Amino acid sequence: MESESKLQTCFGGDITYTKYYDVLKNASVVNFKRNKDLIEITEHVGELQIQHGKDMYREITQLNMVDTLTIDRLVRMNDMIGNPYHHKIAPGIQECSPNSIKYVYYGLLAIRDILEKKLQDIEFVEIGGGYGGQCIILKELFKMFGIQIKKYVMIDLDNVVKFQEKYVRAFQMQHDCVFIPYETHKEYNFHEQSYLFSSYCLSELCDSVRREYYESIVKNTSHGLVIWNNPFCIDLPKDYKEIPHSCKDIVGKFLCF
């Protein structure tokens, strides 16, 4: 039952993580961002995603936390590995993956929240880290903004978290990272002062796995940011507030607690 449910999503039917899970088992970090079996979930290449990149770039500039040169440096850093498709997103930055712009935007939202709450020496927990790009961007932002973390914990399906480790190691940024398979995550002792981050994954999971994470992790985290795109419900068991944004046609709500 677990082996089946862990690959299911809230969308039902044949919308599952099965192909992604299977392909990542033996994928290389060298050219995976052009792998036709992965890009629909890792890179989201298409006109809508390019527009999302442009909208998110605008949101980044309105946060007034980093300048154009820094945005360009961050996206180029993540684009160094995996050979992504590049698109023109905005003047002042080189052509890049819209996905890297997304990582910078979501990363800055988390940074702003952590700074406003004056959090330090936290255990940062990411549920469903994709290929690991958000981790790379966030670790660089932690350094830039003087935020100390004890650990960066990544939790995902076993094949996926193994790939995330390969990706993070390619940047030599693995020293304070812990890579935990979903299949054994209940054995890990999560710190009660952890900061939870999840971009889409937590909300997309099938009900049984999502509630499993609620019980084993979410109830033990004091703060967090969840990007929510489950169209059927918002059942995050926290007293959250919604962060407003002006991105067009963007999927999801930004929930902060």
Q: How many helices (H) and strands (E) does the chain have?
A: 10, 7
Q: Per the domain annotation, does 7 fall within a domain?
A: no
Q: Per the domain annotation, does 100 fall within a domain?
A: yes
Query: What CATH number is attached to the domain comprising 236?
Result: 3.40.50.150
**Which tens digits make up the pLDDT trace of 170-199?**
999 999 999 999 999 999 998 888 999 999
Q: Please give the pLDDT value at position 251.
A: 64
Please give the Cα distance from 157 to 6 (Å, whole number). 8
User: Residue 72's domain spans which residues?
Assistant: 13-256
Q: Please give the pLDDT value at position 250.
A: 65
Q: Please give the pLDDT value at position 249.
A: 61
Q: Per the domain annotation, does 5 fall within a domain?
A: no
Please give the Cα distance from 145 to 151 (Å, whole number). 16
Beta strand ranges found along the chain (DSSP E): 122-127, 149-156, 177-181, 194-199, 221-228, 241-243, 253-256
Please give the Cα distance from 130 to 132 (Å, whole number). 6
Say how many domains are in the chain. 1
Spans of the chain, pLDDT less than 50: 1
Please give the Cα distance from 73 to 90 (Å, whole number). 14
Q: Per the domain annotation, does 1 fall within a domain?
A: no
- What's the predicted TM-score (pTM) here? 0.95
Q: Per the domain annotation, does 60 fall within a domain?
A: yes
Q: Per the domain annotation, does 131 fall within a domain?
A: yes
Q: Per the domain annotation, does 44 fall within a domain?
A: yes
Query: What sign results for the dihedral spanned by CA atoms 56, 139, 109, 212?
Result: positive
Q: Please give the pLDDT value at position 1.
A: 40
Q: Per the domain annotation, does 2 fall within a domain?
A: no
